[in-house]
Structure 1
Amino acid sequence: MKVDDIARHDAKPAPTSVVRLVVTDMDGTLLTPEKQLTRATVEMIGRLTAADVPVCLVSSRAVPGIVRYHDVLKLTTPYAAMNGAIVRDGSGRTLSSLVLPKDAVKATLDMCSVHEVDAWLFSGVDWIVRDATAGYVPQEQKALGVAPKQVADFGPWEDKVGKITCSSADYDLLARLEGETGQMLEGQASVALSAQYYLDVTPLDANKGYALREIGRLMGVEPHEIACLGDMPNDVPMLDIGGLSIAMGNASDEVASHAHFVTDTNENDGWVKAIEKWVLPRIPPQAD
């Protein structure tokens, strides 16, 4: 870690001694690189449920990309999509939905055009693209389990956008644009990488810190009693807030510096190892 990263990590308050809720990122964290749930992960979620510690999903994914896993895991807990732009209860009822200012949408789309970066819009459960065959669209379609809407003009959607994803195989360009776009949209939007090839622009309050607080409120659990796990810059707001924050072994040093602990990678069941080592020992004993 760099000196600043070490200082940031050392300045974090001590981790909580009690965990009553687990809030987790999905891609790069709960899921393998192949977007799968391992048997060990499913079994560990069962152990947490049996111990009366709910698990909630928080992701940059759109709603359909979360629901398919929420259903497989038989979860009945709230979840947050698009970095918190949409929060739903366990039955799928939308509790809150945030949208970007139209000016921020136009500015982001202009930026993508200038740098030849592919832009996608997400509005409610809709995913809107200009070319359904370009770039990372096929990969995302497989991950989400739904096809995008291909349109010639983004204009009709610009006042109802919950998230813009800027996608490119030029990782260095997106890393640079993360800072430049964040500065350009300061006070208007949240900007963070959710993968090396995805830069997300969401409403100002739509970040995973907001999502963690909102889910905690819905579950009746204070942030200091929530364990959270993540791997990317868009996970930092919740890693900063959670009472027990754990970064994946595949996280960068900068992201890891915001966490109390670092576990193994998502290729090696790092999520399960983290729960076993740091969460289970902090679960209060159940009353007889």
Structure 2
Amino acid sequence: MTEVSQPLIQFMLSDIDGTLLHPDHSLSQANIDAVRKLQKAGIHFSVASSRPPRAMRQQIEALGIKLPTVAFNGANIINPDGSLLKAHRIPATAARTSLELFASEAVAVWVFADDQWLLLNPEGDYVEHERNTLGYDFVQVDSFDDYLDRIDKIVAASKDFELLKRLEVQLNPLIAKSALAARSQSYYLDVTALDANKGTALETLADALGVPLSHTAAIGDAGNDVAMFLRAGLSIAMGQAEVGVKTQANYVTDSNADDGLAKAIERYILPR
């Protein structure tokens, strides 16, 4: 996408992992300071993540965010007090279709429901990585059948990144009327309800704030961030993002390892 004339930004929505955080999942002082500058300038700031709500609390508190936040790629919108403002859960038929496809492939499968991280095999790919990211442990179950009517997110995790790309292409036509599969990282393929995407979440928050979409900004690094790029007045991709993500953004900033979010705020968001 070509660069656009600079709108006056009144609200910025940011991805967390790969954007706000360094590769080691730490929150840098540079990014904290940049967000505080936004808030001081009267520009609203919030976060949208594929993470569960309770795995976002540390970042929300560190940044002093007093607005609703977005979890599970938009499946949950959370009030500042931690209560649930809105939920979009995967229809049971789409959940079963996704789980059956993933069960036929060499991928780890996780389900997020009832504020729990559920899995069948604790030895699967990226389990330890996810435990460290979330800050809490999984619950091992024998089957996901008892949760089919209330799943917030399904994840297929694999070290075979090309397999996840193929599964994304294969699954989406099968669930197109009710759910969406999108990679939140090269190693994670997320399934959420059709209305559970960061673009719809951006529109919901902007409407609540009384901010026109043309005066919003979105920043992210992965395929699940493109939905908010397409709704925002200004979109920014991280420097380490895949080419397909970068081409959907108005600007490309530095990588998350180099505080690309802080640099983007200084270059494109803060009033001159």
Partner Cα separation in structure 1 for residue 211 and residue 114 of structure 2: 27
Structure 1 partner of 2:10? 20
Equivalent position of 2:153 in the other structure: 163
Q: Does 1:211 align with 2:221?
A: no
User: Where in structure 1 are there 5+ consecutive unaligned residues?
Assistant: 1-8, 283-288
Q: Which residue identity does 1:46 align to in structure 2?
A: R
**Residue matched to 1:95:** 85
1:253 aligned partner, one-letter code:
V
- Match 2:112 to one of 106, 110, 122: 122
Deviations 1:6-28 (A, max 9, x none): xxx14x8x354210011000111
CA contact (8 A) 1:16 1:224 kept: no
Distance 2:246 2:67 in 1: 27
The list of structure 1 runs, each at least 4 consecutive aligned residues, that deviate by more than 4 angstroms after superposition, is none
Contact 2:6 2:268 in 1 (8 A): no
Q: How far off its partner does 1:90 sit?
A: 1.4
Aligned to 1:285: none
User: 1:131: how far off?
Assistant: 2.5
Unaligned residue ranges in structure 2 (runs of 5+): none
- Please, which of 207, 210, 231 is the counterpart of residue 241 of structure 1? 231
Matching of residues 36-75 of structure 1 within 5 Å: 36-75=26-65
Paired letter, 1:76: K
Q: Which moved more, 1:65-74 or 1:226-235?
A: 65-74
1: CA distance, partners of 2:55 / 2:209: 22
Task: Check conservation: 1:188, 1:204, Cα contact below 8 A.
Answer: yes
Offset, 1:273 = 0.6
Aligned to 1:176: 166
- TM-score normalised over the length of structure 2: 0.96
- Once the 2 structures are TM-superposed, how far is the Cα of residue 65 of structure 1 from its aligned partner? 1.4
Q: Work out the number of aligned pairs and report it.
A: 272
Q: In the alignment, residue 258 of structure 1 is paired with which amino acid?
A: Q
Task: Work out the CA distance in 2 between the residues paired with 1:149 and 1:68.
Answer: 22
Q: Determine the C-alpha separation between the residues in 2 that align with 1:112 and 1:122.
A: 15
2:181 to 163, 187, 191: 191
Q: CA deviation at 1:279?
A: 0.4
Range with greater deviation from structure 2 (112-121 or 78-87): 112-121
- Tell me the distance in 2 between the aligned counterparts of 1:184 and 1:210: 22
Name the residue aligned to 1:4: none
For residue 234 of structure 1, report the CA deviation from its aligned partner.
0.5
Selected match of 2:22 from 26, 32, 41: 32
Deviations along 1:222-256, whole A, 9 cap, x unmatched?
21111110111100010011011001111112111
Tell whether 2:250 aligns with 1:260.
Answer: yes
Q: Distance in 2 between matches of 1:124 and 1:221?
A: 33
The alignment yields a C-alpha RMSD, in angstroms, of 1.3
Aligned-residue offset at 1:133:
3.9
- Whether 2:238 is the aligned partner of 1:231: answer no
Give TM-score scaled by structure 1 length: 0.91
C-alpha distance in 1 between matches for 2:201 and 2:114:
16
Tell me, what secondary structure is at the counterpart of 1:121? Answer: strand
CA 78–168 in structure 1, closer or farther in 2 if over 3 Å, else same: same
Q: What amino acid sits opposite 1:256 in the alignment?
A: K
Determine what percentage of the aligned residue pairs are the same residue: 35
2:64 matches 1:81: no
The one-letter code sitting in structure 1 at the alignment partner of 2:184 is S
Q: Does the Cα contact within 8 Å between 2:71 and 2:77 map onto a contact in 1? A: yes
Counterpart of 2:121?
A: 131
Q: 2:141 is matched with which residue?
A: 151
Could you tell me whether the CA contact under 8 Å between 2:158 and 2:164 is conserved in 1? Answer: yes
Paired residue secondary structure (2:217): strand
For residues 204-236 of structure 1, the C-alpha deviation after alignment (integer angstroms, 9 at most, x for no partner) is 110110111111122221211111101111000
Alpha-carbon distance in structure 2 between the residues aligned to 1:117 and 1:86: 25
Given residue 79 of structure 1, which amino acid in structure 2 is its aligned partner? T
